[in-house]
Structure formats: structure tokens, C-alpha cells
Structure 1
Amino acid sequence: MPTNPFGKLNTPVSRLGFGAMGLGGSFGEHDERALVDSVLHSLEKGITFIDTARNYGESERIVGLALKEWKGERPFIASKIQSKGPGNLGWGQPIPVETAFPRGWLRESTELSLRQLGVETIDLMQLHQYWPQWDRVDYWMEELLRLKDEGKIRGIGVSVPDQRHDIVLPLVQSGRIDSVQTVFHIFDPLALDCLIPICQENNVAVIARCILDEGGLTGFLQEDTVFGPDDFRKSYFDYLPRSIYIERVNRLREAFVPKYASTLAELAIKFVLHHPGVTAAISSMHVPKYADENIAAASGEPLPDDVFEEIRRHYRWVRNFYETKYWV
């Protein structure tokens, strides 16, 4: 498994990371023992980076159970502070930082994460949402810096709401953060235009999320695909007629599979990992079969440069499927 130094923290991490959202039931219910085993399986296969969050249900607790059983070198653990903003506010539109992260809440949420994970230090603590208006006040950054000074966290990061990559550029250039997490995949490569190169220039790590477009870039979606009541993709893929999404996916398959990748998922992972400015890319690996496929893709031969550029230029399809979650 290829590795990268994690920005200014300089800790080597696997370029493919375990996205732990699936441990909290977002993609359907699974047996808890099977979920713990999925974390252990990925660690055994060379994954050294885990990304979880307070907002992911039981995810932190399940990661903690796996860490208790793991006998190897401890992986790099990233989590996120849960917003106190009501409902979906703050995800689709700005709210005051005092509403999202009131004074004292960053510490309270971090302490709870530490207990759930069963660790004394979290390698990276991220704000689970961020808006540049928040830079007008300093208390939230001061609270994070105190947690860092106390050894409760090692690094500070932010997760960018949906596809609005550029709102974080001033914070990246300020030198006050260690990482940015953002949406980045074949259909939406816009983070390559500004965010990723500017993070490179400032030695800020980039965590790419949604690299398989919530599974759509695996080719699983069909006209008759049914999602369970707790699966958030129930609204995600019905932002527009499914036939449009399926046609876009089929175009990719016909042009590049199997010539440059054995599967669509492999193509999507190779695309995201092609640029050296992507420190780590996270995908849900709560099912060992998917973990094995993703790890094999990340460890294989990279895409040729000209193929990467062709996909970047001619297959982008930027749209915000999260609008069905925020606005409908």
C-alpha cells in the first residue's frame, strides 16, 4: 500500500483510508461483530488511516472496539467534531460559528471522542463543517490549539461542506490548519483547480472523500435499485432521473474499462490517487470484499497521464446531489 506523509504532521499514512461512515449504519445495518472485523481486516491489508466522526452514529465506538483488538502498529486516527446546529443547517447554508460550535463544545465533543475511541490522543481533529465567516472570531481555533497543546489532539483540520472547495483557501494559506477534507471524484474534479495545488504549496494535507460518489462510480446503481429506510442514498441518487446517472457511468465504462482498469471502482480510485497533492482518499470499507477490491486498486499501476487528463477534462459532471438533503 503506497503511503504519504500527512502534511506538517509528517506521519506516513496509507494513501487509501478507511472511511468509517458505514460503521454507523449510513449504508444499511450490519452486525456489530462484522463491522469490527471489517476494520481489523483493512488494517491487516495495510490500511493505516481511519476517518470517523461524532456524527456517524456508533462509528467511533466500533473503531474503538477494533483498536482494542488490533495487535499491530496503531493507525492514524482522524475524527470530526459534531456540529450543534439544528437539523441540516450549517451543512447546506452558513450558520454562525457560535451556533455550530459554541464555546466549550469543541472540548466536550473531543473528550467524548477520546472515550469512545479508547485513546489518549486523536491524530487529527476536524470541524465537521466550516464557513469562512467564522474566521472573524478566534475562540474556536484557540480551543483547538489548547487541545493540541494538552496532547489530546495532534493536528487540526476542517471538512468542507459539499462541493464548495474554495471557501477554505484563506484558512489553508493562514498556516493554522493541518488538513482539509473535500469531495473529489471523477464527476467532480474541481478541487484540482485551486484547492489541491494550494494545499500542496502550504504543506496542508488533503483528504479526498466521496471518491466513489457514494457508490455510484462502482456501477451498482440500476433503475430498480431499492435503498433501505436508513440509507441516506435513498434521496441522493434520485436528485434527477436515474437513467441520466446510469448513462454517464456507462460512458466511462465503455471508454476505459477494462483497458485501463478492471472495474469502474478501480478506475475511480486510480483517478483520485493520481495527483500527488491528494494525501489520502477515503472510501467505505465496512464490507471486506469491497475493502479488498479498493486496496488492490490503490496498490496497482497508476493511470497514464494522458488518460487522467482525458477523464478530468471530458467526463466531469458537476452537480450537487446533496441539495435533496439540504433544500427539499
Structure 2
Amino acid sequence: MDHTTFPRTDRQVSRLGFGAMGFAGWFGSQPEADHIRALHYALDQGVNFIDTARAYGESEAILGRGLKQWSGPPPFVATKVEGLAGGPQWSTVVPVDRSLPKGQVTASCEASLRALGLDVIDCLQLHAYWPTWGVEGYWLDELRALKETGKVRAIGISVPDHRSDMVLPIVISGVIDSVQTVINIFDPIALENLVPLCQKHDVAVIARCILDEGGLTGFLTPETTFPPGDFRHGYFDDTVPRASYIAKVDALRRYVPEHASSLAALAIKFALWHPGVTTAITSMHEQRYAAINIAASSEPRLPEPVYKALMFRHRFIKAFMDVRNFADLDAVPDQPLSLD
């Protein structure tokens, strides 16, 4: 398992990270014991970066119980502040005081510490950040205060959708330590501007959706169905025709097995190719997924011509993070939005 230094800290983190959103049951329900077993398996294999969030149901609490049972070196734990604006904050700009009223950053951090059973959070991120909020404000003051008091080691933001370039100003400002953003074969845009600028300004990059919510593994068929409550219910069909999506995935099969053992391995190796990506997280809430993903990260690096072919010939950028998937249309405000 490759490791690298998390910028602006002295911590070494695994370049493949453990995504704990699956602990919320949004990819199907599994027993808590299975989640903890998968967590311990990944930690045993050298994965030591874990990403969760207040908004992920019981994820923090399950993770906390799993860490309490772990006797090895403490992993690097990143979580996210819970915004209070509901579904619309993931799909359209909302005023900062609607998502994060004064005191919410601090209150969310305190709740996370309790749920996780930790004295300090290694990286606290805003789960949604919109550039209209600026690069200064009470929300940043609260983040800085948590860092100064030792409750948080690093502070960052998460890009709410696929438009990674919209957070370039706050990266350049130097006020944050990390950015979490979508990076995958179908949506590599962050690799063009955001990642190089993060390298220049010593800001960590946490890549997410590296398997495109599982779509890049090739599991999706015309007959695949998802039960209500599964995060992927409607996810692959509301934005593009499923047949188009499957065709784009099938076009990647030419690289398997010559350059990767599977489509999933191809996607993971692509996400880890750029040295400016500090860590790339993927759901490992089941041990079988953890084993597959960890094995893929250990395969030989993609040849540069293959990486460039994937980067430029297979783009399929989609607005999956939209109101149809994340919010009731009636909840989207129709009044002019404040830019504060």
C-alpha cells in the first residue's frame, strides 16, 4: 500500500482511502459487524485514511465503535460538517447562513468527536462549499478556532458537484488545507486545473466517486434494479439513458486485462495516477469490496499513453449531482439568492 504525506501535516496517509458512506446503508443494508470487519481488514492491509460525514446516517457512530475495537496505529480520520439546508445545498447554490448558520461548524464538529469517540479530528471539511460564500467569514473563523484549540488538525472543503474549477479561488487564497472532489475516468476535469493548483499551494486532494458510484466497475446492466433507499436508485437513469452509460463503460473493456485486471482496477489506477492526488476514496463497507480495491491499488502503474487515452478519449461528464437526485424540486428556493 503506497503512502504519502498529507500536506501541511506530519501524517502519512494511504493513497487509497476507506470511504465510509456505505456504513449509512445507502448501498444496501448490511450488519454493523460486517462493516467493522471490512474496516479492520482494510486497516490490516495498510489503508489508514478514512472518510465519513455527519450526514452519513450512523456512519460516524459505526466507525467510532470499529475504531474502539482496533488495537493498531490510529488511522487518519476525515469527516464533514453537516449543512442544514437539506437537499438543495447539494445541487444548487444556497446562502451560507442557510446551510451553516453561526455556530453550526462548531456544533457539528463537537457532535462528530462524540460519535467517533475521538479527541481530535484529523481533517474537518465543509460537506458543501459554494464559491459565492467567499474565502473569509464566520464559518472559516470557526474552522480556524477548532484548529487552534487542537480539536482539528486540518481544515478543508468538499466540492458539492462535478464543477471542480469553481473552488480555485479558495485554494489559491491559502486558507484551507484540503479539497475533496470528483475524479474518475468519465469526469477527469479536476486533474486539469484543480489538482495542479493544489500541488502548487500545498493543499491535499481527496478524490471521490473514483468508481462513479460503482458504474465504472461494469456491474450495471439493462436489468439492474435498486431498492428504495439505495443511493443508486434513479442515479444512473435520471441524467443519461442507461444504454448510453453502459456503452461508455463497455468501451473501456479494451484496456482489460492488458493494463488492469478489471474495470474497477482500471478506474482505481486512473484515479491514483496523478501524484497531486493525495488519496482516493472508495466504498469499502464490505470486505469483498475492500479486498478488490486494495488489490487493484497494488497493480503496476498505468503506462502514460494509456492514462492519457483514458483522460481525453473517454470523458462522459454528467450532472449527476442535481435536484432530481438530491432534492425535492419544490424545496429549491425561487427567490433571488444572497451572495453572502
TM-score, structure 2 as length reference = 0.94
Aligned residues: percent identity? 52
Cα RMSD, aligned residues only: 1.1
- Aligned AA for 1:233? R
Aligned to 2:336: none
Aligned to 2:4: 4
Task: Write the deviation string for residues 137-196 of structure 1: whole angstroms up to 9, x where unpaired.
Answer: 511111111111111111001000110101111111111100000001000000011000
Is residue 165 of structure 2 the alignment partner of residue 189 of structure 1?
Answer: no
Task: Write the deviation string for residues 71-103 of structure 1: whole angstroms up to 9, x where unpaired.
Answer: 110000000001011x31221111111111111
For residues 41 and 136 of structure 2, what CA distance do their matches in structure 1 show?
A: 43
Is residue 190 of structure 2 the alignment partner of residue 204 of structure 1?
Answer: no
Aligned to 2:295: 296
Query: Post-superposition shift, 1:136?
Result: 6.4
For residues 209 and 138 of structure 1, what CA distance do their matches in structure 2 show?
A: 27
Is residue 127 of structure 2 the alignment partner of residue 128 of structure 1?
Answer: yes
For residues 92 and 223 of structure 1, what CA distance do their matches in structure 2 show?
A: 27
Question: Contact between 1:207 and 1:280, CA under 8 Å: does it hold in 2?
Answer: yes
For residues 251 and 237 of structure 1, what CA distance do their matches in structure 2 show?
A: 17
For residues 247 and 38 of structure 1, what CA distance do their matches in structure 2 show?
A: 32
Residue 175 of structure 2 aligns to a residue whose secondary structure is coil
1:326–1:33 Cα change, 3 Å: closer
Aligned to 1:226: 225
For residues 52 and 272 of structure 1, what CA distance do their matches in structure 2 show?
A: 19
Of 106-115 and 131-140, deviating more is 131-140
- Aligned AA for 1:262? S
Of 203-212 and 315-324, deviating more is 315-324
Query: Post-superposition shift, 1:326?
Result: 4.2
Question: Contact between 2:185 and 2:311, CA under 8 Å: does it hold in 1?
Answer: yes
Question: Contact between 1:156 and 1:179, CA under 8 Å: does it hold in 2?
Answer: yes
- Aligned AA for 1:114? L
Q: How does 1:93-242 map to 2 (within 5 A)?
A: 93-135=92-134, 137-239=136-238, 240-242=240-242
For residues 99 and 264 of structure 2, what CA distance do their matches in structure 1 show?
A: 35
Q: How does 1:269-284 map to 2 (within 5 A)?
A: 269-284=268-283
For residues 290 and 232 of structure 1, what CA distance do their matches in structure 2 show?
A: 17
For residues 256 and 301 of structure 2, what CA distance do their matches in structure 1 show?
A: 14
For residues 91 and 3 of structure 2, what CA distance do their matches in structure 1 show?
A: 33
For residues 134 and 212 of structure 2, what CA distance do their matches in structure 1 show?
A: 30
Question: Contact between 1:236 and 1:322, CA under 8 Å: does it hold in 2?
Answer: no
Runs of 4+ in 1 over 4 A off after TM superposition: none
For residues 24 and 318 of structure 1, what CA distance do their matches in structure 2 show?
A: 27
TM-score, structure 1 as length reference = 0.97
Query: Post-superposition shift, 1:259?
Result: 0.8
- Flag structure 1 segments of 5+ consecutive residues without an equivalent: none
Between the two proteins, the alignment pairs up a number of residues equal to: 326
Residue 9 of structure 1 aligns to a residue whose secondary structure is coil
Query: Post-superposition shift, 1:316?
Result: 0.9
For residues 89 and 284 of structure 2, what CA distance do their matches in structure 1 show?
A: 27
Residue 93 of structure 1 aligns to a residue whose secondary structure is coil
Residue 126 of structure 1 aligns to a residue whose secondary structure is strand
Aligned to 1:75: 75
- Aligned AA for 1:161? P
Aligned to 2:337: none
- Flag structure 2 segments of 5+ consecutive residues without an equivalent: 330-340
Task: Write the deviation string for residues 256-310 of structure 1: whole angstroms up to 9, x where unpaired.
Answer: 0111011000000001100000000000001111111110111221100111001
- Aligned AA for 1:15? R
Aligned to 1:58: 58
Is residue 48 of structure 2 the alignment partner of residue 48 of structure 1?
Answer: yes
Question: Contact between 1:128 and 1:158, CA under 8 Å: does it hold in 2?
Answer: yes
Question: Contact between 2:135 and 2:170, CA under 8 Å: does it hold in 1?
Answer: no
Question: Contact between 2:135 and 2:173, CA under 8 Å: does it hold in 1?
Answer: no
For residues 150 and 143 of structure 1, what CA distance do their matches in structure 2 show?
A: 11
